[in-house]
Chains A and B, each alone.
Chain A
Amino acid sequence: MVVYDNTYDVIVVGAGHAGCEAALASARMGCATLLLTINLDAVALMSCNPAIGGLAKGHLVKEIDALGGEMGKNIDATGIQFRILNTRKGPAVRASRAQADKQQYRLRMKRVLENQENLHLKQGEVTGLHVEDGRVAGVDTRLQVRYLGKTVILTTGTFMRGLIHVGLTNYAGGRAGDLPSIGLSDQLRDLGFEVGRLKTGTPARLDGRTIDFCRLEPQYGDDPPVPFSFSTERIDQPQVPCHIAYTNERSHDIIRSGLDRSPLYAGVIEGIGPRYCPSIEDKVVRFPEKNRHQTFIEPEGRDTVEVYPSGLSTSLPIDVQIAFYRSIEGLERVEIMRPAYAIEYDYVDPIQLHASLETKLLRNLYHAGQINGTSGYEEAAGQGLIAGINAALQVQGREPLVLGRSEAYIGVLIDDLVTLGTREPYRMFTSRAEYRLLLREDNADLRLREKGHAVGLLPENEYVRFLEKRERIEAELARVRREKLLPSEADPVFMEEFGLVGMQNALTYEQLLRRPDITYAELSRLDSHALEVNPAVREQVEIQVKYQGYIDRQLDQVERARKMESTRIPDDFEYFGLSGLSTEVQEKLRKFRPDTLGQASRIPGITPAAISILSITLKMRGEK
């Protein structure tokens, strides 16, 4: 074993979406950082669909951006179709989504990493952790090189003992075309981690030249495209459409005829797949009454003919794949360029993590991304960012950054992982956030910029711009609360239109904006200043005014929960023999080792009664 003669503050294993954010965060916070990847040509590669964002995921990207992460800027620079979803369902469930030019996306991220101060980017397969005195102290690679590091972040994606399935054929691989990571998960198991197995899948990549797009329905992005990042002014690159196609009864017959050679149904695959992203054979079997399934044919980039048929992932044998894809109207002559496949991989049960993403078993070791049982680039990036920040804070001897469930989707995500664990690949949904109205895309900066700045990640110029925006929001809020519509001076047409004729008292603009039928557009008819207000400020004021009742109610709930969330349970707290707790509850608490009373209350099977007992015990201990 060769010991490399440079000791790093932070070593990040894996350069996917989690690893890139982790490495950038720690390097930007001034820590000497090493990023190791099996394949330097696959940095920030989009292994599945060529898109960023979507419901709850768009929220995650905005939060990453607000904290000082890279994902938002990277998609803004390389996106080829931007859309805002759910525009008419409410302010908090509006979400941004963009198609990415896959190769451009990865190349730009690699360039950002290469140009980052304090960051070394190296190719190498990590086969084991170097552990000293119960703490991680570095990593060992396949080529027998030992890199020493004060902290290590594992972001292994689908690589640990990755096994690729196409029909009943399978082979070891971390992703089609890449080597697997062998040895690391065995060592983790030996160290006492609970290692499980998950499965995911991806559709075939098709040759766009062999698809008859005229027969498919095009779907264009928004014009003008709206960027993700709070720092991006506008999107300049040309935009392209997606196309919608449908499977049919014949497609489903073809799939059913191949089920006997499906590794999923033949029992070859043992890992658990995501219910929200089932393979097409899963959908056909579970929902036999549906006579067609929708697919979006998404471009993989502007410089390639490859396209991605979303929702049509499969692990059926290649002959069934060909027949199936060709059964779809418009795809009769389609050529497969890369076959669809399923992949099984090892993950580590995330209940073994603190909310800082540091493992409870091994100090200075952090896990982020699919190793924690999540799926999705955005979920991975959010965790990577937090792990990177917290590894850096650890090196700097500072308290970790833990986001609460009322502060960020990232907080909900990590809290769910560390208190509930997961049996299937975990994806973020807005319905997972009980304080959803507070966690909007539009206010991600108001929620998190301050925190990004406090940890030292947010560049000063971005922070100053944010402070200006916040001041302008405050000023505009004050203005609409002050300015009034006087019955005597009002425009009679306006009064008639909004049923205000005969109004006795003056109404403030705030009171007017509170009405569902009055927005800034209507307000501007009375108020010449309204149109001069910056659109982002306008949006913020309008939302805060219009939904104040709902927002205040959620803030009340947050306040009520605050005490539990802030009551810490010491690491060495002994649950065994604690009076009043059933054996079952004791065992659960000993297994999960929650950091706070709030976390404990969300562990399945922990009753409200058990929480009261814990709370009293902690209080008595505190008083002693």
Chain B
Amino acid sequence: MYLRDTIAAISTPAGEGGIGIVRVSGPDAERIAARIFRKKEGGFQSHLFYYGAIVEPETGFCLDEAMAVLMHAPRSYTREDVLELHSHGGTLVVQNVLQLALREGARLAEPGEFTRRAFLNGRIDLAQAEAVIDIIRSKTDLALEVAQSQREGSLSHRIGEMKGGLVQLLALLEAHIDFPEEDIEPASRDEISARVAGFTLEIGEMLATYGEGRILREGIAVLIAGRPNVGKSSLLNSLLREKRAIVTSIPGTTRDIIEEVVNIRGIPLRLMDTAGIRETEDLIEQEGVRLTREQIPRADLILFIVDASLPLSDEDLAIYEVIRAKPHVVLLNKSDLLEQPVASFPRDAVTCSISALTGEGLDALKDQIADMFLHGRIDDARSQVLINNSRHRDALERASIPLQRFSENYTLLGGLLELLAADLREAVNALGEITGETSTDDLLDLIFSQFCIGK
């Protein structure tokens, strides 16, 4: 829960930048603005940018020259009074501005608290609030585009349309249930059934995007496997060498959670146990197999690397047995040294010839991975709604089940109206959970506006 107080936080990333922004939201924002921002004269007009200086009110000491904007509630990000102070971007300067705001009565905001307030104050719905978090965490452009489009309400809009359509159908059924003695023209049953089938299909299509959506949001966990000294480290280095591709690295306290993230054709590839790979190149054989086995459950994709200049060893085959049930690509390393690779693999295995050392063949590998995970389905992330969140997927599934039951009942029972209506209602409620509202108050309004009722 949030307290109805005033919060403040640095809104620009840590480190040096051109400008740094401190954002303040809550009832004290305007008072704090008046206290610490010195400008020519007069008060603040909402949504106007002012030039001036940030000063300590007691001493008159000037922290920095700055720009400031005050946005009055409700026309602001949080729907509260919001103050933004734009100072120079040095770490210390921005910290000092924040400290000053805190001294003047603001509280340091918790992570995501501005967005939470926007949601609690009804500016955005649940799906949009979740999208904001996704935007902040997006690791590739494609993932960002999906998140941006959801924040703009693309998902909410699509869900709203489906829900509206279902409520329309529900109103048709309910009118026949509640007003049996009115001469309401019977609705075309075939049409109703066709429309429900249409919605079921639409939900199915949305659910089908979950694989891609989740991958864009969470990335693919990739395990580089292979016996010692086949080129795991080199492959890792080659992948990481393209500096531009490194989006982030997450240092952890234990080796297990050290991950490097690489952007491949818009997919965040989370390389697992990167430290481990470097450390374990000289481990004894059984240990390597054991480690691989342990990591497998967490991996979405395994890059299994072998030395193509040598025949497959027993150990290669042992590791292959361990990983083959998972999606994998067999990398024939050192293929640049040979006319024909010596190692041979089952015909159905996906193989890729590379040189881990020079990076040759990596482009083909990337295409291969993108093909495996996106199935060529994401051409324009903005034009389609991608389901990237398990909560949304669950709700869609819970909407889909009663709709399928509706279609079964329809043929089976000739459709007892009240059971059909119960199915539709369940679907409507499940869809409503995505955007955080489940009311069907509009049902009776619809009935009265469409049918002449009244005996």
Contacts and interface: CB of A to CB of B under 8 A. Distances in A.
Are A and B genuine complex partners? Answer: yes
Contact of B436 (A90, A91, A608): A608
B4 A580 contact: yes
A434 B438 CA distance: 12
Contacts of B419: 90, 547, 550
Contact of B2 (A295, A429, A432, A579): A579
A431 B177 contact: yes
Contacts of B453: 275-276, 278
Given A90-B417, A276-B453, A436-B418, A604 B441 contact: yes
Main secondary structure of the interface of A (DSSP, over half): loop
B426 interface: yes
B283 interface: no
A437 interface: yes
A311 interface: yes
Interface in A250-296: 274-278, 282-283, 286-287, 290, 293-296
Contacts of A55: 177-180
Contacts of B121: 582
Interface string B438-455: 000101100110001111
Interface in A225-244: none
A616 B1 CA distance: 8
A185 interface: no
Contacts of A437: 418, 422
Given A93-B417, A277-B455, A434-B425, A294 B178 contact: no
A311 B455 contact: yes
A553 interface: yes
Contact-residue size bin, chain B (C-beta under 8 Å from the other chain): 35 or more
Contacts of B183: 294
B91 to A, nearest CB: 32
Contact of B452 (A89, A287, A554): A287
Contact of A56 (B176, B178, B421, B425): B178
A360 to B, nearest CB: 24
Nearest to A55: B178
Contact of B418 (A90, A283, A311, A604): A90
A88 B120 CA distance: 45
Contact of A277 (B3, B122, B447, B454): B454
Nearest to A608: B436
Given A90-B418, A608-B437, A276 B1 contact: no
Contacts of B119: 609
A86 interface: yes
B146 to A, nearest CB: 25
Given A92-B418, A276-B453, A581-B4, A296 B120 contact: no
A195 interface: no
A276 B454 contact: yes
A617 B4 CA distance: 13
B444 A431 contact: yes
A547 B454 CA distance: 31
B185 to A, nearest CB: 10
Contacts of B412: 516
Nearest to A313: B454
A613 interface: yes
A607 interface: yes
Contacts of A282: 454
B2 A580 contact: yes
B81 interface: no
A296 B422 CA distance: 31
B202 interface: no
Contact of A294 (B182, B422, B437): B182
B417 to A, nearest CB: 4
A294 B185 CA distance: 13
A516 B5 CA distance: 60
A127 interface: no
A85 interface: yes
Contacts of B5: 579
A610 B183 CA distance: 43
Contact of A85 (B181, B418, B448): B181
Given A287-B452, A296-B455, A516 B413 contact: yes
A89 B177 contact: yes
Contacts of A311: 454-455
Given A294-B182, A430-B178, A283 B1 contact: no
A601 to B, nearest CB: 10
B48 interface: no
In this complex, which of B119, B121, B122, B452 has the most chain A Cβ atoms within 10 angstroms of its Cβ?
A: B452
A566 interface: no
Nearest to B177: A93
A544 interface: no
Given A579-B3, A613-B1, A616-B1, A86 B454 contact: no
A578 B418 CA distance: 42
A590 to B, nearest CB: 16
A609 B422 CA distance: 27
Contacts of B182: 294
Contacts of B448: 275-276
B174 interface: yes
B380 to A, nearest CB: 33
Contacts of A315: none
Report which residue of B3, B180, B183, B426 has the largest number of chain A beta carbons within 10 angstroms of its beta carbon: B180
B418 A429 contact: no
A431 B454 contact: no
Nearest to B79: A582
B284 interface: no
Interface of B: 1-5, 79, 119-122, 174, 176-183, 412-413, 416-419, 421-422, 425-426, 436-437, 441, 443-444, 447-448, 452-455
Given A90-B417, A274-B454, A431-B443, 10 more contacts: A54-B181, A89-B176, A93-B178, A294-B183, A429-B174, A434-B425, A579-B1, A580-B4, A581-B4, A582-B122
Q: Which 8 A-B pairs have the closest CB atoms?
A: A90-B418, A311-B455, A90-B416, A287-B452, A89-B417, A431-B174, A579-B3, A609-B120
Interface of A: 49, 54-56, 85-86, 88-93, 274-278, 282-283, 286-287, 290, 293-296, 310-311, 429-432, 434, 436-437, 516, 547, 550, 553-554, 577-582, 604, 607-610, 612-613, 616-617
19 contacts: A55-B178, A85-B180, A89-B417, A90-B418, A92-B418, A93-B178, A93-B417, A275-B454, A278-B453, A296-B455, A430-B177, A431-B177, A432-B444, A434-B425, A553-B422, A582-B122, A604-B441, A607-B122, A609-B122
